[in-house]
Structure 1
Amino acid sequence: MHGVDTILNVLGSVTLLLWGVRMVRTGLTRAFGGTLRRAIAACSRNRFTAFVGGLGLTGLLQSSTATALLLASFAGRGLISLPIALAVMLGANVGTTLTSQVLSFDLGWLSPLLIAAGVIAFMTIDADKPHHLGRVGIGLGLMLLSLKLLTAAIEPLRTSPSFIAALAGMQDEYVIAAILATVATWFIHSSLSAVLLIMSFAGSGIISPALALAMVVGANVGGALAPYMDQSATDIDARRVPLANLISRLVIGVAFMPFLVPVAHWLALLEPSVARAAVNFHSVFSVVAALVFLPLIEPVAALCRRLLPAKPVADDPGKPRHLDPNVLDTPAEALGCALRETLALGDRVADMLRQSIEVFEHSDPKAVRAIEHADNVVDSLYEAIKLYLIQTSRTDLGEEEGRRYVEILTFTTNLEHIGDIIDKNLMELAAKKIKNRYVFSVEGLAELKAFHSRVLENLRLALNVFTTRDIALARRLVAEKAVIREAEARAADSHFARLREGRPESIETSSIHMDVIRDLKRINGHLASVAYPILEAAGELADTRLKAAQPLRDAHAGS
């Protein structure tokens, strides 16, 4: 049971360290996500400013993996070139070593202060930035606490016969140690946590200095392997950035492997502490990689393009273009991505609605099938937006963000319903008209086109209301409901007048004509719903449309 307790204590300490790193990263991303991304763009003018930008960014985020995923997203969208992205990553690798240097000192006394201050700020301040900076304070405190717990947890391993025997057989197997460290770092997705764990092992005398350096090599390679594996299902452009970073770390790691013993002696001369030697080697590794590869970013980029050539693929209209998974930790940006994708969805629904009247006018069966295919695309985009919003809602949404989340989800649902009405109802009516070779009267077709044109204009207005949240536009959209009701009544009166005249074409198409008007009115109702939350928040809605109840005088008169 003693061994089980040790394993559980080590596991708990490592997971607490990982959670602390995550809290710091998410806190900083939510507080300064947009600023950090703009800073990367500003530093991308040349390789040297890009290197400095990556160093500063990862020094804040404390995760080169997070930086690699962010850069992969930028590269996938064409916002940063591959050579510049590699320069940023070289700086990011140096930046993450700064945190390990700070945490290698005994700062355990700061842990309760940081946790207390962070919890107070997180629970008492509603403003976004102080709230998220409180999360950062909690994360830093947990990281320091986890290191203190980890040191205590591994102390029994120094006298464990089985653990000592296992390490004794690996003391000169530096390649095996590096491979094991690579796999472990890939699994926990944090080279910082892996290096700090190795530092604890070395400081406790459990592993030799040279073996510690071999494991640091593995931690660096594993830290680059994690983002490459995470991007395996993304675009080729996005995958090339972590591949370039993996190549640079792998080359430097292989180059260091034959010289681990002399390097360990050299580091011991600079600082006798074995624990500090492991952390210092982590910094040396990244600095050497930067010195070697910063002048070679263009050849490495060319090599990555050869290893991962672009594949010609057919454009998938159902694939979302704006739902960036790397900004889910920043709700404001994630909601902005969802809004852009919703507008793209709205454009597709508008195209369906625009084409629907042409089907009735020209009786084209190919157009019916095209609209059915377009509805499948709308359904795919709707599902993607809905799942993306659900992922966004798992983070802490502010009051305004929560309101916008509901508005986007509701509007996308209404757009999907409109697509279904066009496909399942209007196109079914069109197919019936085509099959029976019915023809609308000239006046009837003109009425349908005028009614359809009004609804199409309201679709454009609804998209503008959704984007701008303008109260005047929202009032205008709601007022259009009364206009549509009046237009429906006029169209019905005109149609019934033609029926009374005995017009054959009107008699044949009567049910189709009235159903088309009904379905277009339903579409307009879905469109108008986008305005109600905006008007309600502004206090522009009445409590009820009913008139006040009148006293039943006649009833009282008889009493």
Structure 2
Amino acid sequence: MSGLVFFLHMAGAVALLLAATRMVRTGVERAYGRQLRQHLRQRIGHPLSAMLMGLVMAVALQSSTAVTLLVSSFVGLGLVSGVAGIVIVRGGELGSALVAKVLSFDLTLLAPALLTLGAVLYLRSDRRPWHEIGRCLLGIALILISLEMVSTAALPLRDSTFLPVVVRYLSGDILSCFLLAAALTYLLHSSIAAVLLLAAMAEQGVLPPGVGLVMVLGVNLGSSMIAPVLTRAAAPEQRAVPLANLLMRGLGSVVLLALYEVVQPDPALLGTGPANQIIHAHIAFNLFILLVGLPLSGVAWRISRWVADLRTPIETGPAHEEISALDPAALGNPDQALANATREAIRMCDTIDTMLSRIIEVYAAPDPQSIADLRAFDDRVDNRHNAIKLYLARITEQGMTEAQSRRCQDLLEVCIKLEQAGDVIVRNLLLHAQKKMERQVEFTPEGWKELVDFHASVMRNARLAFNLLVDDDPATAQQVIIEKDRLRDSERETRQQHFMRLRRNTEQSIETSSIHLDTVRDLKQINGLLAALAYPVLEEQGLLRGSRLKKPA
């Protein structure tokens, strides 16, 4: 087998392994995620129960990183203490190692049965729990198939003339071996996948046991780095748990690497067979860190919390410094000054446009960096609003005509509406997206389509309203108000459709009901604020009625 063919087969096997692991985790989260989170919050009173709950969650989710991120979010919300969070993560790491052991058994004959049963449940069942169980069974079957693919791809390497040279180098340079495994695990974002890959290669005689043991230590270092990187933009309380895990697990791997170099233990002590030795080394390491780390959890929390507080928050948004259009030298010329304020208001519109378009992306795939970016954009809107307000106040000190005074007041109202729209995005919509992320819930396909369509309508009307700052077109202003009325009817229809899904007892609709309804309400409020930009144009043309109330008969 040529090198290109080998890498192609190995890449395909690893990709299937990662995708299958993700399938199992997704199925468990959607079917039982809420129950797991409830049990997690309820069973943290005693260190042993907290550790066991972390172990169970890692087995269910097929990922210790997922447990770490979930626990860190609970700690950030104050639902779990920092020390309890560290204990839960310790149990999660051990649970992840035990999953690797289970998957290392020869379960080849089980794969066809799991594929058949999983496909039937996934494709035929209308009930969500059974549908997601089918997804999990398919994922487990694909994991087993991917491991067989790894073994098959690695088989020809035993006769390779190049491999002994590489192995000889790695055996003589344990630091390179250790760092290589850490980098591989970080790239895979899965310690289970990395350990199973090492075990499969060791089983085929490609990886000597001594090298394999060193790489297991590197796997644990790389795995402990994933969560701190993913939470780097989060609050200090939320970052502290991943940092504590990195401190305990990363430092432990470095210390044991030094001991390995001194003692040179016999891999046979960990069992018979190269694959078993690697799996058992992984379990033994995490059991060791658990036993040593339990009494040191308080110290680890204090250190990690101190480190998290020291870290300067990441600056978000564009790095370049923008030049304000509010030129003080133009204050003596009201027309020029009002034009400058209009240019700055248009910049506010651009920022609101960006925030409004990005918020739906945060709903679809929330992450700490996107959340931080939106908050940074809102700060920019607030700063620009304050600057324009003060600038307009200085213009009024000069002698202005009635038309100029009216334009000044209109611009002030525009800036107030834009600032309020930004507040709704950050203080309301962003909180809904964070709530969705923390609860790990998903909208129904119908509900998500309704939200996306409603958001798209608000975006279209917002851009029409923004155009009115450049061109006071009465037809455009009328279209904005017509669209506002249409969206009011659309909101009512969306709410009715959502209640119909609740009556059908759709579980996803029940889980996301408040988020769905609050999102539609807030999008409607944003549309109302931005549609107000059309009123000065319509009023000037005499196209605005004084009241929508009918005259009494």
TM over 0.5: yes
The AA in structure 2 aligned to 1:26 is T
Instruction: Tell me the equivalent position of 2:27.
Output: 27
**2:126 alignment counterpart:** 126
Q: Specify the SS of the correspondent of 1:308.
A: helix
Q: 1:31 and 1:327, CA in 2 relative to 1: closer, same or farther beyond 3 A?
A: farther
1:31 touches 1:132 (CA, 8 Å); kept in 2?
yes
Where in structure 2 are the equivalents of 1:435-446 lying within 5 Å?
none
C-alpha change, 1:144 and 1:194, in structure 2 (3 Å) is same
- C-alpha distance in 2 between matches for 1:195 and 1:327: 34
CA contact (8 A) 2:268 2:277 kept: yes
2:448 maps to 1:405: yes
Corresponding residue SS for 2:115 = helix
Does the CA-based 8 Å contact 1:213-1:264 persist in structure 2?
Answer: no
SS of residue matched to 1:207: coil
Letter in 2 for 1:298: G
Q: Is contact 1:378-1:416 (8 Å) kept?
A: no
Q: Residue 168 and residue 88 in structure 1: after superposition, are their counterparts in 2 closer, same or farther (change >3 A)?
A: same
Per the TM alignment, residue 208 of structure 1 is displaced from its structure 2 partner at its CA by 2.4
- Tell me the equivalent position of 1:296: 296
Q: Please tell me whether the aligned partners of residues 150 and 201 of structure 2 are also in contact (alpha carbons under 8 angstroms).
A: no
2-side partners of 1:182 and 1:509: how far apart? 62
Give the Cα–Cα distance (whole angstroms) in 1 for the partners of residues 53 and 127 of structure 2.
28
1:191 shift after superposition? 0.5
**In structure 1, distance between residues paired with 2:188 and 2:315:** 36
Indicate the residue corresponding to 2:208 in structure 1: 208
2:108 partner letter:
G
In structure 1, the residue matched to 2:532 is none
Secondary structure of 1:80's partner? Answer: coil
Q: Deviations over 1:13-60 (max 9, x none)?
A: 222211211111111111112112222212233433221111000011
Residue 179 of structure 1: aligned partner: 179
Q: Is the 8 A contact 2:30 2:441 kept in 1?
A: no
Q: What pairs with 1:269-418 in structure 2 (closer than 5 Å)?
A: 269=269, 271-309=271-309, 366-377=412-423, 401-413=444-456
Q: Percent identity?
A: 26
Greater shift after overlay, 106-115 or 412-421? 412-421
Determine if contact 2:181/2:218 at 8 Å carries over to the other structure.
Answer: yes
Q: Deviations over 1:155-213 (max 9, x none)?
A: 11112111111111111322211100000000011100111111122222222222111
On the 8 A contact 2:174/2:214 being kept in 1, the answer is yes
8 Å contact 1:70–1:326 — kept in the other structure? no
2:385 matched residue in structure 1:
none
Structure 2 counterpart SS, 1:248: helix
Q: Which amino acid aligns with 2:61?
A: L
Distance 1:313 1:422, change over 3 A: farther
Residues 54-133 of structure 1 correspond to what in structure 2 (within 5 A)? 54-133=54-133
Letter in 2 for 1:276: N
Matched residues in 1 for 2:431 and 2:455: separation?
8
Letter in 1 for 2:249: R
TM normalised by structure 2 equals 0.65
Conserved? CA contact 1:240–1:308, under 8 Å: yes
1:515-535: CA deviations, max 9, x gaps? 4449x97xx9xxxxxxxxxxx
Letter of the 1:82 counterpart: G
1:492-531 correspondence runs (5 A): 511-512=539-540, 514-517=542-545
2: CA distance, partners of 1:110 / 1:170: 36
- 8 Å Cα contact 1:171/1:207 also seen in 2: no
Letter in 1 for 2:418: E
Structure 1: which amino acid aligns with 2:449?
Answer: V
Per the TM alignment, residue 425 of structure 1 is displaced from its structure 2 partner at its CA by 6.7
TM-score, normalized by length of structure 1?
0.65
What is the identity, as a one-letter code, of the residue corresponding to 2:293?
A: F
In the alignment, the residues of structure 1 paired with residue 263 and residue 199 of structure 2 have an alpha-carbon distance, to the nearest angstrom, of 16
Specify the code of the residue in structure 2 equivalent to 1:37: R
Q: Output the CA distance in 1 between the equivalents of 2:67 and 2:424.
A: 33
Counterpart of 2:397 in structure 1 is: none
Q: Which whole-Å deviations, capped at 9, do the CAs of 1:199-231 have from their partners, x for residues lacking one?
A: 122222222222111100111111111222222
| 8 Å Cα contact 1:25-1:61 kept in structure 2 | yes
CA displacement at 1:382 relative to structure 2: 10
When residues 149 and 315 of structure 1 are mapped into structure 2, their CA distance, relative to the original with a 3 A threshold, is closer
The letter of the residue matching 1:402 is P
Shift of residue 121, structure 1, vs aligned partner:
1.3
Preserved contact between residue 221 and residue 249 of structure 2 (Cα < 8 Å): yes
Offset of residue 286 of structure 1: 0.6
Q: Distance in 2 between matches of 1:14 and 1:3?
A: 16
Change (3 A) 1:26 1:158: same
1:542 matched to which residue of 2? none
| Contact preservation (8 Å) 2:360, 2:452 | no
Structure 1 or 2, whichever has the larger Rg, is 1
Secondary structure of 1:11's partner?
helix
**1:371 partner letter:** K
Per mean C-alpha deviation after superposition, the further-off stretch among 10-19 and 176-185 is 10-19
Secondary structure class of the residue paired with 2:162: helix
Q: CA deviation at 1:405?
A: 1.6
Matches within 5 A, 1:102-251: 102-251=102-251
Structure 2 SS opposite 1:301: helix
Q: 1:315/1:150 Cα in 2 relative to 1: closer, same or farther (>3 Å)?
A: closer
The answer on whether the counterparts of 1:94 and 1:286 sit within 8 Å (CA) in structure 2 is yes
For 1:324 and 1:252, locate their aligned partners in 2 and report how far apart those are by CA, in whole Å. 42
Counterparts in 2 of 1:410-559, with a 5 A limit? 410-413=453-456, 466=495, 511-512=539-540, 514-517=542-545
**Do 1:67 and 1:92's aligned partners in 2 also have CA atoms closer than 8 Å?**
yes
Rounded to whole Å, the distance in 2 between the matches of 1:152 and 1:218 is 25
* Structure 1: distance between partners of 2:284 and 2:140: 24
Distance change in 2, residues 1:364/1:313 (3 Å): farther
Deviations 1:426-447 (A, max 9, x none): 9999xxxxxxxxxxxxxxxxxx
CA RMSD of aligned residues (A): 4.8
- Which letter does structure 1 place at the counterpart of 2:416? A
Give, in whole Å, the separation in 1 of the partners of 2:154 and 2:57. Answer: 32
C-alpha distance in 1, partners of 2:424/2:256? 54
Checking the alignment, whether the CA contact within 8 Å between 2:224 and 2:242 is kept in structure 1 is yes
Q: Which amino acid aligns with 1:369?
A: C
2:142 partner amino acid: L
Kindly state the Cα deviation for residue 384 of structure 1 after the two structures are TM-superposed.
Answer: 7.1
Shift of 1:112: 1.2
- Once the two structures are superposed, residues 82-105 of structure 1 have per-residue CA deviations (whole angstroms, 9 ceiling, x without a partner) of 222211110100000111111222
Q: Structure 1 pair 428/44, CA: closer, same or farther in 2 (3 Å)? A: farther
Paired amino acid for 1:294: L
Question: Please, which moves more after superposition, 198-207 or 182-191?
Answer: 198-207
How many angstroms does 1:412 deviate by? 4.0
Distance 1:129 1:11, change over 3 A: same
Secondary structure at 2:206 match in 1: coil
Secondary structure of residue in 2 paired with 1:170: helix
Quick one: which amino acid aligns to residue 242 of structure 2?
P
Structure 1 range deviating more: 168-177 or 231-240:
231-240
Q: What letter matches 2:62 in structure 1?
A: Q
What is aligned with 1:38? 38
Amino acid at match of 1:405: W
Cα distance change, pair 157–428 in 1 and its aligned pair in 2 (3 A): closer
Give the Cα separation in 1 of the matches to 2:140 and 2:418. 54
